[in-house]
Amino acid sequence: MSRLLAGRSITRHDEENNESEDDNELIATSAHRHHDKRFDQDENQDLENEGFGQGDEQVNVMAKIMKEKSFWIGIVAVIGLIGLSVLLGLVAYQLWTKPEIIPDFNENGGRKLNRTVIMVSIDGFRPDYLEMFQQECGNLSEIISNGVKAASMTPIFPSKTFPNHYTLVTGLYAESHGIISNTFWDPNFKAKFSLGSPESFKSRWWLGEPIWVTAEKQGKVSASFFWPGSDVEIQGMYPTYYKRYDGRIDYETRVKTVFEWLDSDKPPQMILTYFSSVDTVGHNLGPIYTEELRKSVRQVNDAVGLILEGLKQRNLTENVDLIIVSDHGMSLTPKSKIVRLTDILKRNVLDGVEILNMNAGPYLDMYIKNKTNIAPLYNELVESISNSTEYSNAVEGVYTKLNMPENFHFTNSERIPDLILLARPEFSILRNAASQLNTKGNHGYNNESPEMGSLFIAQGRHFKKGFNSPNRVRNLDVYSLICKLLEITPAPNNGTADNFTPYLSNNL
């Protein structure tokens, strides 16, 4: 059963708020009353008519008073004009140099956000669950009606949880980003990577550049409420907001926290979160209709509904790009379809010293200390399998780095095992007679097999409406797609956003 990192819940330290507030504009007005010369003349005439100007002396005094009055009126007028000119100049300067203020609200009355992407992973959700559990998928169906859907999404090889989650956010094959399985060996470190182990939190395992690092480098705020690698320091960085994995935290709390981040003074533009229950039930009971799987699908559909409702309440449905994905599909693994390595070779070669083994089930791997032993063991395996119908029906291929299928892109890393026995879907390759199959469903098979197909649906500002494609997409291209949606430059990667062009609206 694939599980994400386990540990305590933490958040990154708060950073200084840089939110700009609208400046209040000062509107200055001035009024200037002009003295009317006729008013002064009429006033003087009235004085004379009422007997207040008798004789020449009175006339001369009156003329002197009027002359001094006119002088002071002129002085006041000049000062007023100078003050008005200075004031108008200051207002003009302020208007000319004032930066453009982006409105706080969008056209629908909601808070205006910069380009924002929310990506949700539903671990192990097969695309055909949408039909198998149609009554439980109302919110997922609403996204499809308002947005886009691919027939399926092809994961990378191996079709395991950690490699594919990290591919979704780096655009790299496993051989390039370094997380080649949920559990693997590094011969240079002489150490084992496994889920939740102290090693898994060390930066040295995580290669490439995940989307949160790309975003933060280019001035965007990123957030992750559970995503493989987001709680590890990569290139000296974490998302602005993140949580260390704790499966006990319910989905409602995860969604609530995402919207608290969005409502903060420093809202993230790139948000990741993760739901695991569908994968858990798929492992336990298989990818078939059961009451337990029905309840799990309804649970994640309800969590998606909380996201849709949160966007509606904030009038952000048309402004935020919402992407729902899964990391891989799921295959039935009945106990009637088991082969064991000890039966194929007639002996046990996995001694833990000369040959290390990290994985069994959909594929069995071997790290061989003495490299000269690779070819003889490979030939022995091929001969035994080809001479047995039972083994030939169960094993799709025996691979070394020399004959690995090109489409797997699983060669150029020292972490890749020296030998891999890959089972056909539904079959399991176990180590020995003591090995037991404890699950009814599993993944890790050929990534192009239909059973391993994953989910891709999306809605939002930059996606078409009601576009249901009959074609597959690749999870390898999702990283570049998110970069395109956020208008940031992607780091070098193996994917391209061009493959999503049919799904995008013309306003991108």
Supply the pLDDT for residue 59: 36
Query: What are all long-range contacts of 55-61, with beta carbons under 8 Å and residues at least 24 apart?
Result: none
What average pLDDT values come out for the chain (508 residues) when binned by 10 residues?
A: 35 38 32 35 35 39 48 56 57 42 43 84 98 98 98 98 98 98 98 95 98 98 97 97 94 97 97 97 98 98 98 95 98 98 97 97 98 98 98 98 97 98 98 94 98 98 97 98 98 98 89
Element (H, E) at 165: helix 161-170
CB 231 within 8 A of CB 198: no
Kindly tell me the sign of the dihedral angle through the C-alpha atoms of 120, 122, 124, 129. negative
**What residues contact residue 8 under an 8 Å CB cut-off, 6+ apart?**
244, 246
Longest dimension (CA), the chain: 145
Please tell me the distance from the alpha carbon of residue 97 to that of residue 95, in angstroms, as a whole number: 6
Please tell me the distance from the alpha carbon of residue 277 to that of residue 397, in angstroms, as a whole number: 32
Supply the pLDDT for residue 3: 34
Is 388 strand, coil or helix? Answer: coil
User: Which of 11, 29, 154, 161 is an active site residue?
Assistant: 161
Q: Is 336 left (phi over 0), alpha (psi -120 to 50) or beta?
A: alpha
Helix 291-313, helix 138-146: angle, nearest 10: 50
Residue in the structure block whose two tokens are 């060996």 = 185
Is the whole-model pTM more than 0.75?
yes
Please tell me the distance from the alpha carbon of residue 89 to that of residue 75, in angstroms, as a whole number: 21
Give per-residue pLDDT as tens, 36-78: 333 333 333 333 333 333 344 443 434 444 455 555 555 555 5
Report which DSSP code applies to 111: B
Supply the pLDDT for residue 80: 58
Burial of residue 373 (CB within 10 Å: 0-12, 13-18, 19+) is middle
Report which DSSP code applies to 12: P
Residue in the structure block whose two tokens are 């039909």 = 131
Element (H, E) at 61: helix 55-97
**CA nearest neighbour of 368 among 351, 384, 345:** 351
Supply the pLDDT for residue 33: 34
Annotation says 154 is catalytic? no
Element (H, E) at 129: helix 129-132
Query: What are all long-range contacts of 26-34, with beta carbons under 8 Å and residues at least 24 apart?
Result: 26/91, 26/94, 28/87, 28/91, 30/84, 30/87, 32/80, 32/84
**Residue 70 forms beta bridges with which residues?**
none
Please tell me the distance from the alpha carbon of residue 329 to that of residue 128, in angstroms, as a whole number: 10
Strands (E) in 256-344, as ranges, are: 270-275, 320-325, 331-332, 338-340
